[in-house]
């Protein structure tokens, strides 16, 4: 068994054919984490005991010739915003440093019920606020392709883990690019779903009208398989959509002859790194060769989508993070004598600088006298953004765009300038205000061997089409199969 | 560029219940000002006839039967409490 290029498909086949046991797979994964993670720092928590116990139980079922469940014996990681019963869940923030949830998030529960084995919780920017994973209060994650570069963010630990074979896939969350951008920076596949397709129950909230749950995987095929398991309505999340879940695998091999792909001119702008531009141009040609028809389209409100996204996000942050009060859970300042001091001191010590910035900005945007100019204005612009997407999807089936204007940047390069960090997300934050899905795929490498990625964007609930198109591309290219050379 | 005053930063920190040091106050004053300046570009967008969009999927009024369903036990609910007393969350004095 070679972990570095193990896909979910291969892992399932290997277990089914008894090429290896669940215990062998889980043990090898844990050993790989032990060897590689001191350099990469993708994991905040590793759970060897529960993982090995579950693996032994899986092997017992196999020995008794019981039919394997969809994900029996498959080791996976989850971003540390997913509540995991009995396993520390920190949101990568000091304020939750010792928080142990008493229940599982719905997505975790569904994966566990399908037999998957949680091997650990991955690092990210605290509460998802960032594009480099440098805003974690605990550690900086390194890009496995070049340890001096960031893995992207906020789900940088999840992407780095999948790229380096530490767990077959990772469960992650995307509010403004937090799945797509790190997947792109680490050369793996990342799926951001339609808002409401996957339950947010038990996921530590960032911006509740923008947060979506998805996966980071070695391939599109794997993402399609997993989406069928985690998607669907949940009585515990009233914003989940009631629509029936299609069989995403069934349509996967249908090909894309005649598919209309729009190239939004606002995403192919001056200032994109020339190597990124060149890879994107080649990918467009590839899609044309596969039978798609491409045309230039326009989403005129794209530049306004960035401030509208941030204003919506931070306003919701200000409300969502009010719960960290030092009373019911999380860090509580021992010195405080009165209730207000308890709030002020617990939040002062528990939150890092980016979290404080976003809470304060959101509080400002919602405060008396500024609400109309900031929050309400952002929601009005959001209407215009959604209208742009609705209109363009009357003409084309999908959009194709870069994920990031540049390849992975250096650790420390943007850390001191919060606004520059915000602008690293210009091509990813734009879709979340409209609730539409996006799929990030590797589409090339720079001459310095750093991954380049593209994203396909579709109308709400078009995951089947996105996955079909992504799979068609991956059937004819091998960018997604490349893995970093990591000396263990 | 409109720069936030020290008083404005103090006010918003107080509203957000975040204690700030003098050093943070100065740093955030500059950083928040430049970010507000950036998001302020939205003022140029014409929204005179535009409704606000607060959600994207169009779901409305999701109902369920008003039935008792399983929930956390008192012990579980209190498990992460920094301080507890007799099955309650314990906190500091709210009134001086």
Tell me the per-residue pLDDT of A154-188, one tens digit each, with 9 for 90 and over: 999 999 999 999 999 999 999 999 999 999 999 99
Q: Render pLDDT for A408-421 as a digit per residue (tens, 0 to 9).
A: 999 999 988 888 88
The pLDDT assigned to A270 comes to 85
CA pseudo-torsion sign A317, A322, A326, A327? negative
Which one of A23, A79, A109, A468 is the catalytic residue?
A79
User: Which pair of structure tokens corresponds to residue A477?
Assistant: 């290219």
Per the domain annotation, does B19 fall within a domain? yes
User: How long is chain A?
Assistant: 488
Is there a catalytic annotation at residue A154? yes
Per the domain annotation, does B53 fall within a domain? no
The pLDDT assigned to A488 comes to 54
User: Closest-CA residue in chain A for B13?
Assistant: A360
User: Closest-CA residue in chain A for B46?
Assistant: A381
Inform me whether the C-beta atom of residue B94 falls under 8 Å from chain A C-beta atoms. yes
CA distances to A197, A227, A350, A418, A465 from A246, rounded to whole Å, are 12, 10, 43, 41, 11
The pLDDT assigned to B67 comes to 93
The percentage of residues in chain A with a pLDDT greater than 90, rounded to a whole number, is: 94
Distance CA A482, CA A308 (A): 36
Q: Region B4-18: what's the mean pLDDT?
A: 96
Q: What is the DSSP string of A196-259?
A: TSB--TTBPPS-TTT-EEEEEESSHHHHHHHHHHHBS-BTTBTTS--PPPP-TTTTTTS--TT-
Q: Render pLDDT for A126-144 as a digit per residue (tens, 0 to 9).
A: 999 999 999 999 999 999 9
Coil vs helix vs strand at A118: strand
CA A183 to chain centre: 7
Which one of A155, A178, A318, A346 is the catalytic residue?
A178
Pairing of strands A451-457, A398-402: antiparallel
Is there a catalytic annotation at residue A50? no
User: Which pair of structure tokens corresponds to residue A273?
Assistant: 């790194």
Contact A143, A151 (CB under 8 A): yes
Nearest partner of A221 among A248, A247, A198, A182, judged by Cα: A248
Per the domain annotation, does A40 fall within a domain? yes
The CATH number covering residue B39 comes to: 1.10.20.60
Q: Which residues contact B33 (CB under 8 A, 6 or more apart)?
A: B1, B2, B3, B4
User: Closest-CA residue in chain B for A335?
Assistant: B92
Per the domain annotation, does A293 fall within a domain? no
Distance CA A169, CA A66 (A): 24
Per the domain annotation, does A340 fall within a domain? no
Give one word for B52, left, alpha or beta, with left for phi > 0 and alpha for psi -120 to 50.
beta
User: Which pair of structure tokens corresponds to residue A415?
Assistant: 């850390």
Residues facing A445 on adjacent strands: A451
Contact A181, A428 (CB under 8 A): yes
Q: Render pLDDT for A233-262 as a digit per residue (tens, 0 to 9).
A: 999 999 999 999 999 999 999 999 999 999
Kindly report the pTM of this predicted structure: 0.97
Interface of B with A in 52-81 (CB under 8 A): 52-57, 59, 62, 64, 72, 76-77, 79-81
Inform me whether the C-beta atom of residue B91 falls under 8 Å from chain A C-beta atoms. yes
Per the domain annotation, does A41 fall within a domain? yes
Distance CA A172, CA A192 (A): 9
User: Closest-CA residue in chain B for A312?
Assistant: B54
Q: How many domains does chain A have?
A: 1
Identify the DSSP state of A370. T
Which one of A77, A93, A154, A315 is the catalytic residue?
A154
User: Which pair of structure tokens corresponds to residue A340?
Assistant: 């207000």
Residues in A touching B43 (Cβ below 8 Å): 373, 377
Is there a catalytic annotation at residue A79? yes
- Asked whether the predicted pLDDT for residue A211 surpasses 70, the reply is yes
User: Which pair of structure tokens corresponds to residue A20?
Assistant: 């290896």
Q: Render pLDDT for A286-317 as a digit per residue (tens, 0 to 9).
A: 999 999 999 999 999 999 999 999 999 999 99
Distance CA A42, CA A185 (A): 14
Q: What is the DSSP string of A258-304?
A: T-EEEEEGGGS-TTS-HHHHHHHHHHHHHHHHTT-EEEEE--TTHHH
Range of the domain at B31: 6-43
The pLDDT assigned to B55 comes to 85
Residues facing A75 on adjacent strands: A117
Per the domain annotation, does A267 fall within a domain? no
The pLDDT assigned to A419 comes to 85
Q: How many domains does chain B have?
A: 1
Nearest partner of A210 among A104, A136, A317, judged by Cα: A317
Per the domain annotation, does A427 fall within a domain? no
Q: How far is A357 from chain B (nearest CA, A)?
A: 7
The pLDDT assigned to A248 comes to 97
* Cβ contact A339–B81 (<8 Å): no
The CATH number covering residue A93 comes to: 3.90.1300.10
Q: Region A433-454: what's the mean pLDDT?
A: 98
Q: Render pLDDT for A45-63 as a digit per residue (tens, 0 to 9).
A: 999 999 999 999 999 998 8
Distance CA B36, CA B3 (A): 9
Pairing of strands A189-192, A438-445: antiparallel
Distance CA A253, CA A379 (A): 39
User: Which pair of structure tokens corresponds to residue A61?
Assistant: 């079922």
Contact A439, A470 (CB under 8 A): yes
Distance CA A160, CA A77 (A): 11
Give the helix/strand (H/E) hosting A475: helix A463-476
Q: Region A337-353: what's the mean pLDDT?
A: 97
Residues facing A191 on adjacent strands: A215, A439
Per the domain annotation, does B79 fall within a domain? no
The pLDDT assigned to B1 comes to 59
The pLDDT assigned to A212 comes to 98
For residue A93, what pLDDT band results from cuts at 50, 70 and 90?
very high
What ipTM score was computed for the predicted complex, to two decimals? Answer: 0.96
Q: Render pLDDT for B41-86 as a digit per residue (tens, 0 to 9).
A: 999 999 999 999 988 999 989 998 999 989 999 999 999 999 999 9
Range of the domain at A178: 3-260+438-481
Contact A129, A415 (CB under 8 A): no
The pLDDT assigned to A66 comes to 78
The pLDDT assigned to B2 comes to 74
Per the domain annotation, does A366 fall within a domain? no
Q: Which residue has the tokens 């050993």?
A: A31
Per the domain annotation, does B73 fall within a domain? no
User: Which pair of structure tokens corresponds to residue A225?
Assistant: 């398989």
Please state, rounded to an integer, the average pLDDT across all residues of chain B.
Answer: 93
Q: How far is B2 from chain A (nearest CA, A)?
A: 14
Per the domain annotation, does A309 fall within a domain? no
* Cβ contact B51–A103 (<8 Å): no
């Amino acid at each position: 068994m070679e972990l570095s290029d193990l896909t979910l498909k291969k892992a399932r086949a290997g277990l089914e054919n008894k090429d290896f046991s669940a215990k062998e797979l889980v043990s090898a994964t844990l050993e790989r984490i032990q060897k590689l993670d001191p350099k990469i720092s993708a994991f905040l928590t590793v759970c060897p005991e529960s993982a090995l116990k579950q693996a032994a139980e899986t092997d017992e079922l196999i020995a008794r010739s019981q039919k394997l469940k969809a994900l029996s014996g498959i080791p996976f990681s989850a971003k540390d915003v997913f509540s995991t019963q009995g396993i520390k869940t920190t949101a990568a923030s000091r304020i939750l440093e010792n928080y142990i949830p008493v229940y599982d998030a719905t997505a975790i529960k569904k994966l566990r019920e399908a037999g998957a084995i949680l091997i650990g919780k991955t690092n990210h920017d605290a509460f998802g606020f960032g594009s480099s994973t440098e805003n974690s209060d605990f550690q900086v994650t390194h890009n496995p392709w070049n340890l001096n570069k960031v893995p992207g963010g906020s789900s940088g630990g999840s992407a780095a883990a999948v790229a380096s074979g530490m767990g077959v896939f990772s469960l992650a969350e995307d509010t403004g690019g937090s799945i797509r951008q790190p997947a792109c920076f680490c050369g793996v596949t990342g799926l951001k779903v339609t808002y409401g397709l996957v339950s947010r129950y038990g996921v530590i909230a960032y911006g509740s009208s923008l947060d979506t749950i998805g996966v980071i995987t070695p391939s599109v095929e794997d993402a399609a398989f997993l989406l069928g398991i985690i998607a669907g309505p949940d009585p515990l999340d009233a914003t989940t959509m009631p629509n029936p879940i299609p069989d995403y695998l069934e349509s996967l091999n249908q090909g894309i002859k005649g598919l209309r792909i729009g190239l939004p001119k606002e995403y192919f702008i001056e200032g994109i790194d020339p190597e990124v531009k060149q890879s994107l141009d080649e990918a467009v040609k590839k899609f044309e060769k596969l039978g798609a028809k491409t045309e230039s389209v326009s989403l005129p409100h794209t530049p306004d989508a960035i401030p509208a996204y941030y204003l919506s996000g931070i306003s919701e942050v200000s409300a969502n993070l009010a719960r960290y009060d030092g009373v019911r859970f999380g860090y509580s300042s021992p010195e405080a004598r009165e209730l207000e001091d308890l709030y002020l001191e617990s939040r002062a010590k528990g939150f890092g600088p980016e979290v404080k910035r976003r809470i304060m900005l959101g509080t400002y945007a919602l405060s008396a006298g500024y609400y109309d100019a900031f929050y309400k204005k952002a929601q009005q612009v959001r209407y215009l953004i959604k209208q742009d997407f609705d209109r363009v999807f009357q003409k084309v089936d999908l959009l194709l765009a870069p994920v990031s204007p540049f390849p992975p940047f250096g650790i420390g390069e943007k850390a001191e300038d919060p606004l520059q960090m915000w602008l690293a997300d210009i091509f990813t934050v734009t879709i979340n205000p409209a609730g539409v899905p996006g799929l990030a795929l590797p589409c090339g490498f720079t001459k310095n061997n750093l991954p380049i990625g593209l994203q396909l964007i579709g109308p709400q609930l078009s995951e089947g089409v996105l996955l079909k198109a992504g799979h068609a591309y991956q059937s004819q290219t091998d960018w997604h199969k490349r893995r970093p050379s990591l000396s263990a | 560029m409109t720069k936030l005053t020290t008083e404005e930063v103090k006010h918003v920190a107080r509203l957000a219940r975040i204690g700030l040091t003098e050093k943070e106050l100065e740093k955030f004053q500059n950083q928040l000002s430049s970010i507000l300046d950036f998001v302020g570009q939205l003022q140029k967008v014409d929204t005179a006839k535009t409704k606000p969009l607060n959600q994207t999927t169009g779901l409305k009024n999701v109902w369920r039967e008003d039935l008792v369903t399983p929930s956390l036990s008192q012990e579980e609910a209190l498990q992460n409490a920094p301080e507890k007393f007799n099955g309650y969350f314990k906190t500091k004095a709210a009134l001086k």
